[in-house]
């Protein structure tokens, strides 16, 4: 693992890949890392239409397609020859939450439409697995890199949808086991839990009274936290663990874009 001086020196121009960067948490992470000096690559099916600065290198990718994913890493290898950070945000689990006029997210598992399994397990967990495998092939020869998997509290308690819980628990376990295999190469793997993030969908729902945004976080906040983690000289001591973004932010003195310090939510708060 690079020491603190090496990390600070290498910060500007370090190469980051953010999957699912077209919107939501992924877009916010891309913006946060770009402002921190990373050279950012963003992927997504609609990345070409995303509201992102021109400095973000957009590579259209459907992460359900392994050839698309492989192409992303070919582009990065061709243009940069190295990759320092991967943030796996790609996720298809929030699509088609209302079907036939009915909100199907919370129906029992035996009534769930099976596309939701594909959206969460294939476009989410499997996509993160495939991207991490490609990233590891680039990172291990250099003994340098960081893999962050965006997860959530649903791994630890039922939050209205069984498939959701399965997907997040799988993400946390995947993180833990990848960390074991990458430890000899000094590459940490972290599962990161956001709080209530002001994504486009959450803001729209808040207008209908579905959310209280008083404890919410901007999407860019997660990118700021990941930047702080990347620069932590003791990050290997955290490898394989689940970290709560707001707790890490308080430890590193990271503030949100409005200067606020989002509260640290616990399992009891969710």
Question: What does each C-alpha distance from 106 to 102, 113, 169, 197, 248 come to in angstroms?
Answer: 10, 11, 18, 20, 31
Q: Look up residue 39 and give its two tokens.
A: 């050279």
At residue 215, the 3 state secondary structure works out as: helix
Q: Which of 243, 230, 263, 269 is nearest to 8 (CA)?
A: 230
Query: Known catalytic residue: 164?
Result: yes
For 226-242, give one letter per residue: b (16+ CB within 10 A) or e: bbbbbbbeebbebbbeb
For 102-131, give one letter per residue: b (16+ CB within 10 A) or e: eeebeeeeeebeeebbbbbbebbbbbbebb
d(CA 190, CA 228): 13
Among residues 94, 129, 164, 193, which one is catalytic?
164
Q: Look up residue 126 and give its two tokens.
A: 């499997």
Contact call for residues 191 and 172 (beta carbons, < 8 A): yes
Residues with Cβ within 8 Å of 69's Cβ and at least 6 positions away in sequence, in order, are 61, 63, 127, 130, 131, 134
Would you please indicate which residues are annotated as catalytic (active-site) residues? 164
């Amino acid at each position: 693992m690079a020491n603190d001086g090496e990390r600070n020196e290498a910060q500007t121009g370090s190469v980051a890949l953010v999957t699912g960067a077209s919107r939501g948490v992924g877009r916010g992470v891309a913006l946060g890392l770009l402002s921190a000096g990373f050279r950012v690559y963003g992927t997504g099916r609609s990345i070409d239409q995303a509201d992102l600065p021109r400095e973000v290198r957009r590579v259209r990718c459907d992460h359900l397609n392994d050839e698309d994913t492989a192409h992303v890493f070919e582009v990065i290898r061709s243009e940069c020859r190295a990759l320092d950070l991967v943030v796996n945000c790609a996720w298809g689990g929030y699509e088609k939450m209302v079907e036939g006029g009915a909100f199907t997210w919370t129906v029992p598992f035996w009534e769930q439409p099976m596309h939701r399994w594909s959206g969460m397990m294939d476009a989410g967990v499997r996509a993160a697995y495939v991207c991490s495998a490609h990233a590891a092939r680039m990172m291990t020869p250099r003994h340098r890199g960081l893999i962050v998997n965006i997860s959530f509290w649903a791994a630890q308690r039922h939050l209205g949808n069984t498939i959701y819980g399965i997907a997040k628990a799988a993400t946390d376990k995947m993180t833990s086991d990848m960390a074991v295999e990458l430890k000899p190469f000094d590459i940490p793997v972290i599962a990161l839990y956001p709080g209530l993030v002001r994504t486009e969908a959450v803001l729209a729902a808040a207008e209908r009274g579905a959310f209280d945004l008083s404890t919410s976080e901007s999407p860019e906040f997660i990118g700021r936290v990941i930047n702080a983690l990347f620069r932590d000289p003791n990050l290997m001591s955290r490898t394989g663990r689940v970290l709560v973004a707001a707790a890490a932010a308080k430890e590193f003195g990271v503030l949100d874009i409005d200067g606020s310090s989002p509260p640290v939510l616990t399992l009891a708060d969710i």
